[in-house]
Structure formats: C-alpha cells, structure tokens
Structure 1
Amino acid sequence: MKMKKIGLLLSTILLTGALAACGDSSSASDKALNEKKLVVGVTAGPQEQIMEKVKEVAAKDGLEIELKVFSDYILPNTALSEGDLDANSYQHEPFLVAFNKDHGTNLVPVGKTVLNPMGVYSDKYKSFDELPDGATFGLPNDPSNGSRALYILEENGFIKIKGDKKETASIYDIEENPKHLKFIELDAAQIPNQLSEVDAAAINTNFALAAGINPKEDSILLESTNSPYVNYIVVRAENKDDPTIKKFVKAYQSEDVKKLIEEEFKGSIIPSWD
C-alpha cells in the first residue's frame, strides 16, 4: 500500500513539474511589451553612442530604454529571438535576411536608422570618370561586402549586374562593364594599405576611418541612403505594430538624434530615415 502511495506521489510531482516546465518555456511571442520600458541591444561603438541620445529623447516621451551592449553580430539577434531583448539596432537588411534563414527566426525591420557608407577611393584619380579603360579595382573578398561594392558601381552607372543578383552579386554576375574594370579581390581590412597598388578600391567605413580616411571628404564614390545596406531597428514579428515600438522608432528618427549623428560623425555615418 505504501509503495502505491509513493508511486502516486511521484507521478503527481512529475506531472506538476512537467506542467511547470511548459509554463516556463513560453515562447518570446507570448511576452507582452512593457509600455514604459524597452530593452534594446546595440553593438559597442557608434551604435551605442547614438542610442544613448535616443534614450534621452525617449525619456522625454515617458519611455525608458535599457541598453545591452554586444561585441559581436550574432548574439543581439539571438537574444532578441529568445525574448531577452525587445529590439536591437545594429544591422542592415541583407544581414537580417541571412540570419533569419540560417537560424529559423522571424525578426523584422521596423525603422531605418543609419548608413555606414562604403566608399570608393583612389590615390591616383580625383573622380571615377578619370579611371582609364582596364583600370584595376580592389573590392572586399567576402561575399557581403563584395556585393556591396559592386552595388555602388552599378548605382553610379559604371557596371550592370544581372537582374536577380542585385544584393548577392559577385564579379561573375556582371553583365556590362564599359570601362573593362579589372577586379582584384582583397581582404577588406587590408585594402586601405593596398590602395596605392590599384587604381581605385572600395573600403568599408570602419577600415577607412581607422586609416585616417574620411568617407565624405576623400571618396570618389559614396554609397547613398538608397542602399539596401542601411541599418534598421529590428523586432520580433509579433511586435512590429506595437505602440511602444512605434514610440521608440519615433525617438530614434528625431531631429535631436539626427543632429547628433551629423555633428559627431561628420558624414562617416549618415542618418537614413529621410
């Protein structure tokens, strides 16, 4: 009789534990957003600096922003998908699309923020039109940044990319190349040091700034805010129309934040919501 009672007790405990576990494993979609506070993930550096100003603006509208700062590009999306963040701000849409595909997540962009414009530079020529036929062009050898460099050239009419390859293009997807540019793929971080060895090259903003190159003043071509590589505020899909998220986006896309970006970064980072 005692064994039956013990067995019944154990069954009850196990059942209770299972139910509790089910309750604890509620998905991020079941989490309602706090109307007065959002937890937002950013990467260290400029994104963090800008978000500190957004915090000030949002506070005036009764919204508290708690920042969580990350040192890589994967964890902010992982934390958002798992419900540890309410939003993040650091990535462009092509990166987001690839992340969702690779990780089975459903994160969505809700508002443009800034563009860290990739520029084209030359030690030999003052404009891209001056480049001779057959000029050498250095571009990053990683797929994302290589495509981005080609996008800039197409946007300015110097090459034409196959229609279905606009955001994933490689040098093998170029249909028209009137200047017969000779593309040399290089490590993105090393291109500033190799600029004198080619006629022109595309350089990411962070590597340009580290080399003392100012994108706004020194580039012969500069990525526009029409670029698909503009950064976004990103949230879980079920929160995209949430009033608190809309208040947050409004705070980011304010004149005060725009003024800070323009004065602090002087064209190396560009407000992109206009």
Structure 2
Amino acid sequence: MKKKSVISLVLAIAVGLLSGCGNGGSSNSTGSGSSKDKSVTVKIGAAAVPHAEILNHIKPTLAKEGIDLQVVVLDDEDQLNPALQENQIDANYFQHLPYLESVAKEKGYDFAVAGKVHVEPIGFYSDKIKSKSELKNGAKIAIPNNPSNEYRALELLQEQGLIKLKSGIANYSATPSDIVENSKNLQFVEVDAAQLPRVLPDVDGSIINTNLVLEAKLDPNKALFREDSKSPYANLIVVRKGDENKKEIKAIVKALNSDDVRNFIKKKYGVAVVPAF
C-alpha cells in the first residue's frame, strides 16, 4: 500500500504540472499573445489645442508599434505638472522650458525633457487698432501674469521698440516694474493667461499665447506682430526624470518629430504653430 501511495502522489503532481502548463498556454492564446506583442499604454496630459490634436494625429502610427497612446486633457493646465508628479499620467505636453524651469524650482519637480515639438509664437492682438503705430499714450496692454510668459510678452514689446527692460535679466522672469523706458507710458494689466482673449474688448491690446488664440477661435493671422520662428519657447514632452530613456517615450518623440507631423502642423495651423524640429 505504501508503494502504491507514493506512485499515486507522483502521478498527481505530474498531472498538476501538466495542467498548469496547459492553463498557461491557453492564457497566451486567448490574451494578448507573447509579451513582445502586448501593447503598452502611455498617458500624456496635454493642452487641448494644438497639443492634444497633434497627439491624436500620431495615435494610429503608435498603435502599429504596440503603443496605446491615451491623451488626457484637463480643464486647468496648471494641474498637468502635479498630475505628472503624482504618477497620474506618464508625460505632459503643454509647456516650454522657461515655464518648466520656473515651476520646477518653485515646486521641486524632478522632471526631464524628452523632446521638443513646436513653437506657438506669442502675438499682440487688438480689437481697437490696426497697427502698433496707432497705440496712443497711456494705452492699456493686457499681458499674462505667470512669470515666464510675462517676461516673454515684455520681451516682445521690447523687440518692437515700445519699451526697454533693465539689463541683466537672465531667469526669464520680469514684470512691468523691470521696465526702464516706456515712451508711450503704456499701462499694463496683468491677467491670467486663459483670460487674455476675454479681456481683449476692454483693453487697447493683448499679448496672447497662440494655443489660447486657437481655443478662443480668434484668427492668428490678425496678430499685429508676433515672435519669429527663432523663439526659444518650444513646447516640450516632459516626463519624470529617468523616463526619457523608455522605449515607448522615445518612440512617441520620434513620431512627433516626423515629416508627417511637420506637414500636419503646417497645413492645419499655418502661422499659428511652427515646428521646432
């Protein structure tokens, strides 16, 4: 009896092992296949326009490479960096380097730039005048109130010869208090960037980021003046430090920096969005 019991036990273990192997094979055949064939999901938080539209354009290309790109648009873009910090998304695409550096220093973010995609030339818009020469003494100009974009707006006015900033500004941070020459005595209204299109009727002019111009359905061709293509404010794919080396992140940046995306941007946005690659 003892010998028979040992033989029965060995047979039971063998059957169990074979059964386990059978279940494993069944799972592979009914699931996603081998690990090589499994898709990888990547969530990227983005501004609605043009960022999310550009990302959605490359989704079919990435799907062929086994990357399920999920585009997350938040009503408040200021939450895209906290969402990345808290692992709610894998990357974000909405900001330029001066803005990233300013908030990273303030908030302690440990992020890295995976790639750059496009520039949205910030421009001066007005419902009241047709050229900068029509700006009257004491004209009210609305500018963004976040540090990097405020400097960017003031720098644009300086390039146009309307004001002069003090020398030595090296951290992309300036306010109207840093203006040392203002021959037209321009008055500045500091406004949340998202509200700039809305205050346009109440001021003589407003310096607005192009993504907000597009979202507000304003005509970007009506800017009286704007940054040129040499602007350092390229919009970036930003990830947590270390993730820039991930295969799927590199594949996304490669797709974004393709001739296909270059042509898509030029055709869809014209002067409003300029490829930065």
Instruction: Give the TM-score of the pair, scaled to structure 1.
Output: 0.70
Per the alignment, residue 182 of structure 1 pairs with 186
Cα separation, 1, equivalents of 2:70 and 2:185: 45
Question: RMSD across aligned C-alpha pairs, in angstroms?
Answer: 3.2
Deviation at 1:41, TM superposition (A): 1.6
Q: Among the aligned pairs, what percent are the same residue?
A: 33
Per the alignment, residue 136 of structure 1 pairs with 139
* 2:259 aligned with 1:255: yes
1:134 partner SS: coil
2:237 to 233, 241, 248: 233
Per the alignment, residue 58 of structure 1 pairs with 62
Cα separation, 1, equivalents of 2:201 and 2:90: 45
Cα separation, 2, equivalents of 1:79 and 1:187: 24
* 2:222 aligned with 1:218: yes
Label 1:127 to 1:55 Cα distance change in 2 as closer, same or farther (>3 A): same
Cα separation, 1, equivalents of 2:93 and 2:144: 26
Per the alignment, residue 70 of structure 2 pairs with 67
Cα separation, 1, equivalents of 2:199 and 2:87: 44
Cα separation, 2, equivalents of 1:207 and 1:48: 13
Label 1:103 to 1:35 Cα distance change in 2 as closer, same or farther (>3 A): farther
Cα separation, 2, equivalents of 1:40 and 1:114: 20
* 2:115 aligned with 1:107: no
Cα separation, 2, equivalents of 1:210 and 1:76: 18
Deviation at 1:150, TM superposition (A): 0.7
Label 1:110 to 1:133 Cα distance change in 2 as closer, same or farther (>3 A): same
User: In 2, are the aligned partners of 1:112 and 1:272 still within 8 Å (CA)?
Assistant: no
Label 1:175 to 1:66 Cα distance change in 2 as closer, same or farther (>3 A): same
* 2:175 aligned with 1:170: yes
Label 1:87 to 1:182 Cα distance change in 2 as closer, same or farther (>3 A): same
* 2:159 aligned with 1:159: no
Instruction: Give the TM-score of the pair, scaled to structure 2.
Output: 0.70
1:37 to 36, 40, 48: 40
1:88 partner SS: strand
Letter in 2 for 1:151: E
Deviation at 1:38, TM superposition (A): 5.1
Per the alignment, residue 272 of structure 1 pairs with 275
Label 1:48 to 1:164 Cα distance change in 2 as closer, same or farther (>3 A): same
1:87 to 83, 87, 91: 91
1:116 to 115, 120, 123: 120
Label 1:171 to 1:256 Cα distance change in 2 as closer, same or farther (>3 A): same
1:172 partner SS: helix
Letter in 2 for 1:69: V
Cα separation, 1, equivalents of 2:163 and 2:130: 19
Gaps of 5+ in 1: 1-33
User: In 2, are the aligned partners of 1:149 and 1:202 still within 8 Å (CA)?
Assistant: yes
Label 1:157 to 1:110 Cα distance change in 2 as closer, same or farther (>3 A): farther
Deviation at 1:67, TM superposition (A): 1.0
Label 1:207 to 1:200 Cα distance change in 2 as closer, same or farther (>3 A): same
Cα separation, 2, equivalents of 1:190 and 1:102: 23
Label 1:123 to 1:99 Cα distance change in 2 as closer, same or farther (>3 A): closer
2:174 partner SS: coil
Q: How many residues align?
A: 236
Letter in 2 for 1:234: V
Label 1:133 to 1:271 Cα distance change in 2 as closer, same or farther (>3 A): closer
Deviation at 1:242, TM superposition (A): 4.1
Cα separation, 2, equivalents of 1:153 and 1:248: 36
Cα separation, 2, equivalents of 1:124 and 1:74: 31
User: In 1, are the aligned partners of 2:62 and 2:69 still within 8 Å (CA)?
Assistant: no
Label 1:63 to 1:114 Cα distance change in 2 as closer, same or farther (>3 A): farther
Cα separation, 1, equivalents of 2:228 and 2:58: 23
